[in-house]
Amino acid sequence: LDSIDDGLLIFDRSGVLDHFNPVAQRQLGWYDRPLGISIGQALRRPELDEQLQLVMQGDSLPHALEDLEVEAEGETRLLTYSLTPVSLSDERIHGAVMVLHDVTEQRAFERVRSEFVLRASHELRTPVTGMHMAFGLLQERLHFPAEARESDLLQTVDEEMHRL
């Protein structure tokens, strides 16, 4: 359990933190070992206690309802999590496991990508809008017979401007 890549928290049947692996310790900045308390107390997020109680009743929480934002080692980390009940051969629930996955870099990449798409879209739209307006004015002033090649070219340019 201590060698997996994700953070792992283990809770006893009463919802008290019983064990966590070194990855969880780094992710959460827990160097004073907060064993013996609830996850809501440890992370100052009471809603986690409610989610844990649902899991202890047999429900499963396969993925986080929202990312956990935690301060650890001077930086803010975003963690997604899952909660799963632990049952043995008697099928009674004896505790729960919470797996923490650090998504800080993934969320930062998604934010940068989204900002890039918005900015690129705006930067492309702005000159195209100006060109489209200028072309509209030019079309109003130029009149070619319908069968003229120039009329076909103007129509093609107009269609391509609308496509952009």
CATH number for the domain spanning 31: value is: 3.30.450.20
Q: How far apart are CA 84 and CA 160, in angstroms?
A: 54
Q: What is the mean predicted confidence (pLDDT) over 21-50?
A: 88
Q: Which residue would you say has higher pLDDT here, 112 or 6?
A: 6
- The total number of structural domains in the chain stands at 2
CA angle 61, 66, 70 (to 5 degrees): 110
pLDDT at 146: 65
* Amino acid 131: pLDDT: 76
Name which of 53, 56, 52 is nearest 93 in CA terms. Answer: 56
CA distances from 118 to 104, 108, 113, 122, 129 (A): 21, 15, 9, 6, 16
**More reliable by pLDDT, 13 or 138:** 13
| Mean pLDDT, the chain, integer | 83
**pLDDT (0 to 100) of residue 23:** 93
Q: Which residues contact 30 (CB under 8 A, 6 or more apart)?
A: 20, 24, 42
CA distance 80 to 95: 20
DSSP state, residue 94: E
Mean pLDDT (whole number) for 37-48: 89
pTM: 0.67
The pLDDT-based confidence of 155 (bands split at 50, 70, 90) is: confident
Do 95 and 121 have their domain in common?
no
Domain coverage including residue 49: 7-102
**Do 29 and 80 fall into the same domain?**
yes
Same-domain pairing of 97 and 113: no
pLDDT at 71 over 80: yes
| 24 has a pLDDT exceeding 70 | yes
For residues 120 and 48, membership in a common domain is answered with: no
Given a cut of 80, whether residue 1 has pLDDT beyond it is no
pLDDT value at residue 12: 92
Assess if residue 117 is contained within a domain: yes
State the average pLDDT over residues 152-163.
78
**Which token pair is 8?**
């792992």
